[in-house]
Copies of this chain bind each other. A is one copy, B any other.
């Protein structure tokens, strides 16, 4: 029931996933609205069922408060189905904050992870680089960098297919003496860890994807993401005018909009699994139509099939003494 086009596009995307990718779907929402949709799509032989609830979180509701009063919200129930083994994963196009709270309440975080981690592959040009934290963890402690690294290494293995991911800390220079206090202490911890730690990387190394896992404080990650998106907007306006003068209006608009999309990180991050919680929950965009919904479902499938949760657990176990030792 989440997202701008629920439930129609959600149902369409889910049915497509069942049809084309051999995935069993449980739709969590009001039976009376889902039934006619399923009928109209004629899904009789497909493994698509309905789990009824008439509560859901609307966009704009304060998520924690809404979830406290709606204990049968579709998002919460979907997570519960996953926890109880009736499903392998939960997928939502709803409010990210509400999804995060649902996942926290229902799954909890891994032992060793203090708070859910914000991360993903933000830069089009560096498709094999996951950056964490991208927002939620501000003023994080150096040991949280170890936690981000464990999650990031699992992410790179399971989603990017990288065998022995390199891990680096974002800093203001590559020499060991560089860095702020936080980066320096994290450096010392990472150096002692079993991760494939390559040291510091700098701002320009982000777009070049110089490491598979790049670690930073969520404050820095948030600023970078939004800066990138802001640049996309001003650069594409400039580019539109500039290209129009040599190749005409149509080509200019196409190229400018491509550029904007390449820097619109929100779209790149979207459809990612929540990180650090002990269950698979994939949050897609509110704007998702059926194809994007199906894509989010496939991300969940990949998380399950690649053993993403087990991989995080294993990486965390490898640094448990460092995490406690600090």
* Chain B residue with Cβ nearest A210: B230
| A221–B139 alpha-carbon span in the complex (Å) | 17
Pairs A–B under 8 Å by Cβ, sample size 13: A139-B180, A172-B219, A172-B222, A203-B222, A203-B225, A204-B227, A204-B233, A207-B230, A235-B262, A239-B239, A239-B255, A246-B251, A247-B247
A238 at interface, CB cutoff 8 A: yes
A105 at interface, CB cutoff 8 A: no
A223 at interface, CB cutoff 8 A: yes
| A230–B209 alpha-carbon span in the complex (Å) | 10
Closest approach, in angstroms, between the C-beta of A265 and any C-beta of chain B? Answer: 10
In the bound complex, do residue B239 and residue A259 qualify as a contact, i.e. CB atoms below 8 Å apart?
yes
Contacts of A246 in B (CB 8 A): 243, 247, 251, 255
Interface flags, A197-221, vs B, CB<8A=1, else 0 = 0000011111110000000111110
Contacts of A218 in B (CB 8 A): 172
From the candidates B171, B173, B208, B234, name the one contacting A230 in the complex (CB within 8 A).
Answer: B208
Total A residues in contact with B, Cβ cutoff 8 Å? 49
In the bound complex, do residue A172 and residue B255 qualify as a contact, i.e. CB atoms below 8 Å apart?
no
| A55–B229 alpha-carbon span in the complex (Å) | 48
Give how many copies assemble into the complex. Answer: 2
A286 at interface, CB cutoff 8 A: no
Contacts of A171 in B (CB 8 A): 219, 223
Closest approach, in angstroms, between the C-beta of A71 and any C-beta of chain B? Answer: 27
Contacts of A233 in B (CB 8 A): 204, 207-208
Closest 4 CB pairs of A and B: A203-B226, A204-B230, A203-B227, A247-B247
Q: Given known contacts A203-B222, A223-B172, is B230 in contact with A231 (CB within 8 Å)?
A: no
In the bound complex, do residue A262 and residue B238 qualify as a contact, i.e. CB atoms below 8 Å apart?
yes
In the bound complex, do residue A230 and residue B206 qualify as a contact, i.e. CB atoms below 8 Å apart?
yes
A35 at interface, CB cutoff 8 A: no
| A243–B244 alpha-carbon span in the complex (Å) | 11
From the candidates B138, B226, B258, name the one contacting A202 in the complex (CB within 8 A).
Answer: B226
Interface flags, A86-128, vs B, CB<8A=1, else 0 = 0000000000000000000000000000000000000001000
